[in-house]
Amino acid sequence: MASKDEQNRPVSGGRNDEEHRVSPRFTLLIRAAKLVIDEAREYLCIIRDASTMGVKVRLFTPLPDYYSAIAVEASNGERYPVELVWRDGDYAGLRFLGDINLESLLDESSGAFPKRQVRLRVQLDAMLYSGGAAVNVTFADISQRGAKVVCDKWLLLNELVRIETGALPTIYAKVRWRKHPHYGLLFEQTFQLDELAQIAAPLQPDEHDGVADGPAIDAMSPR
């Protein structure tokens, strides 16, 4: 666990003291976000404070030892390339690689997906039970409240389904939207942030796998 001094450490990133003094900092934030590693692996985190220079994040799982690029993606889909400045226990300091609009980073009602929960791309096969039939499905992404799955069987809107996997507890969910073979599911019971982070981390592709196709899609909407 990070020490009190480490948790309060600013992300100066080597910039001069004058720039650090004039850079506005918003502290005591609790903004869910994700770290995107090499455009393929995604790890849940919480932004605890932010400035135009960088952010301090709370991690739920260790980051990979080797990677080429890292970015912070806010819940609204806005993505910011960063570099790791320091890491200690559950906390890390990240410096932005370019100029950012701090208000856009902190405003969850802006961006391509306003007020959306963070979606994590995963690689997970499961069995879905629908209308007495059992069919194989693949998770494309998952959030605290829902998921996008790929299913060959046509599912009904608002249909209640059961999902069994080796990595998750039994899930009951309703079909919120469909664009066959893609379906958005709304869970009957939500996951806690730390619970979701621990579940999703082992389901990321390893460093030798290719990049997953396209961005994660909102499980609550077919947009």
DSSP-based three-state secondary structure for 182:
strand
In a domain, 176, yes or no: yes
Q: The pTM is what?
A: 0.78
Q: What's 138's domain CATH number?
A: 2.40.10.220
Query: What's the number of domains the chain is made of?
Result: 2
pLDDT band at 75 (very low <50, low <70, confident <90, very high): confident
| pLDDT exceeds 80 at position 101 | yes
Structure tokens given for 34: 């994700």
In a domain, 129, yes or no: yes
**Residue 66's domain spans which residues?**
4-106
Output 201-206 pairs: Cβ under 8 A, ≥24 positions apart. Answer: 201/43, 201/60, 201/61, 202/167, 203/122, 203/123, 203/124, 203/139, 203/167, 204/40, 204/41, 204/42, 204/43, 204/121, 204/122, 204/123, 205/40, 205/41, 205/123
User: Where a domain ends, among 40, 74, 106?
Assistant: 106
User: Where a domain ends, among 83, 106, 129?
Assistant: 106
In sequence order, the β-bridge partners of residue 160 are: 174
Residue 131 sits in the same domain as residue 87: no
Taking only the tens place, the pLDDT of each residue in 147-198 is 999 999 999 999 999 999 989 999 999 999 999 999 999 999 999 999 999 9
